[in-house]
Amino acid sequence: MSRTRTALLAALALVAGASGTALAVAPGDAGIAAVPCTVDYKVQNQWDTGFTAAVTVTNNTTAKSSWSLKWAYAGNQKVTSGWNAKISQSGTAVTAANESYNGTLATGGSVSFGFQGSYSGTNAVPATFTLDGVTCNVDGGGPTDPGPTDPGTPGTRVDNPYAGSKVYVNPEWSANAAAEPGGSRVANQPTGVWLDRIAAINGTGGKMGLRAHLDEALKQKGSGELVVQLVIYDLPGRDCSALASNGELGPTEIDKYKTQYIDPIAAILADPKYASLRIVNTVELDSLPNLVTNVTPRATATANCDTMKANGNYVKGVGYALNKLGDAPNVYNYVDAGHHGWLGWDDNFSATVQTIKQAATAEGATVNDVQGFITNTANYSALKEQNFTINDSVNGKSVRESKWVDWNRYVDELSYAQAFRQEAVNQGFPAGVGMLIDTSRNGWGGSARPTGPGAMTDVDTYVNGGKLDRRIHVGNWCNQSGAGLGERPKASPAAGIDAYVWIKPPGESDGSSSAIANDEGKGFDRMCDPTYTGNPRNNNNMSGALPNAPLSGHWFSAQFQQLMQNAYPAL
């Protein structure tokens, strides 16, 4: 079941910190023998009619392959949703049993789970617990006692997690940037942490895993607020319309996605140790829009996208991720909304919102599990075209008739993102949803940047002469020649926009410019080949890609140098 954000926002004053630590004593030892287990129960947030709680169980006896914790409430508390445990309730009696992925409980090991509940009157900590039949007694911790292992009171849920907050600097990306000539100028910028394989959760190839990043984030946090940006990106049949970022899971491996990818991530994010962090998930980039634009009968259809629409695993996967990840009260989910050059046409725009809403109400998720949407990740669309608008005309022809705009209703990302937010609200998403715009590679500065409008000779000359986005075609997406760093990350930069972000780390390749054998499941997409003459998705134009590019996600020094050279605002 899913946490309802509106309930968490309902109270302005939260009563937090109720806790108790239960000590299980071996029978016959009169409390002086070694303690076989501890149970730490903490009420994290509490409002007039509900609360969230975190429970940590530590096992000091022989290792377990499964576990079951039981307790009873003295009042009328009811568990309404839970995460990282199978929680059931009969009357006042509650049972929390392990999930498939966290049944192992080593000697000295701990496991954490959490839940949301309702109550009226008082909300006392349960008096007794039993762990696999061993009785545990509360040590007397009162409702204001933080408990001996309290990691700190988590921050109150906010409308915009970026407001008043620092953002995590990924030390691995920072080191790559700093090693480049001139890279120290941007090496302290926050970028996304990509969890693009199951192995990335624990770390692979010498790279930091999720817990390592979150531990580092706690160090960077200090006494203020800090946002950690994660990319949730491993759907079955991932990126059905391209090849460069194909994933490790086949089209039907939805169960593996749930149990081996989303569930372990959710377990880590729910750890009370990280409750003081604001964790932003950007959920499954370039996925749901494919179900609108790249399926039959569209000319851009692919067999893989038809398969994913038919089996429903994109919708199921995103819904499951939103539900499970959104359960933790300090987690904020933003769903991918493509970019204006993909979805800005009438037959794509509203249909994409409808598809996202379908996913946001699947697998136990609700629209309240969606904090907002993100556009332009791994793309290059200009933030704001300064030299023309969608309402301009030349010699009686609208700019919409130009080859570049091609009847799109938007010419840049800011106008598109603001309109997308409003359409989402119109279709039933909460009025407070926000937008993120990825500005990591859409600056388009340097000597080729136009300084004013194009000549009024005709509509194409006018648009092509004045547009800041210097790509050959708006459908080009891979390692684009001439691109530059865009606006630096910042909170609340425009109406309806929660932040400008660098989710796609500048300098990490979009895909290889030729076929490269690898064990990462990544194919060769001709849109990354600078000699490619195109397909229907870019109106059969040249790809505009840089040469000599490595696999997607790998460091691409030449691209990074170009991005710095063409940065706008300039470095």
Neighbour tally for 445: CB within 10 Å: 21
CB 281 within 8 A of CB 331: yes
CB 265 within 8 A of CB 196: no
Please confirm, yes or no, whether 263 is among the known catalytic residues: no
* Segments of 103-212 assigned E as strands: 110-118, 128-131, 134-138, 165-167, 193-195
The answer to whether the Cα torsion of 298, 303, 309, 313 is positive or negative is negative
Q: Specify the residue for token string 């989402």.
A: 424
* Catalytic site residue from 40, 234, 271, 286: 286
CB 376 within 8 A of CB 442: yes
Max CA pair span of the chain: 96
AA letter at 178: A
CB 467 within 8 A of CB 385: yes
Task: Name which of 50, 36, 68, 38 is nearest 5 in CA terms.
Answer: 50
Instruction: Return the H-helix or E-strand segment holding 255.
Output: helix 254-256
Please confirm, yes or no, whether 286 is among the known catalytic residues: yes
192-263-93 Cα angle (round to 5): 135
282 CA to centre of own chain: 2
Spatial separation of the C-alpha atoms in residues 404 and 463, rounded to whole Å: 7
* Catalytic site residue from 239, 438, 510, 525: 510
Neighbour tally for 76: CB within 10 Å: 12
- Give the CA distances from residue 403 to residues 157, 379, 390, 462, 472, in Å, rounded to whole numbers and listed in that order: 45, 20, 13, 11, 11
Spatial separation of the C-alpha atoms in residues 328 and 270, rounded to whole Å: 6
Spatial separation of the C-alpha atoms in residues 529 and 545, rounded to whole Å: 6
Neighbour tally for 312: CB within 10 Å: 15
CB 166 within 8 A of CB 224: yes
Strand pairing report for 93-97 and 128-131: unpaired
Task: Name which of 96, 50, 52 is nearest 71 in CA terms.
Answer: 96
The SS3 of residue 534 is: coil
Tokens of 173: 């990306």
Catalytic positions are 286, 510
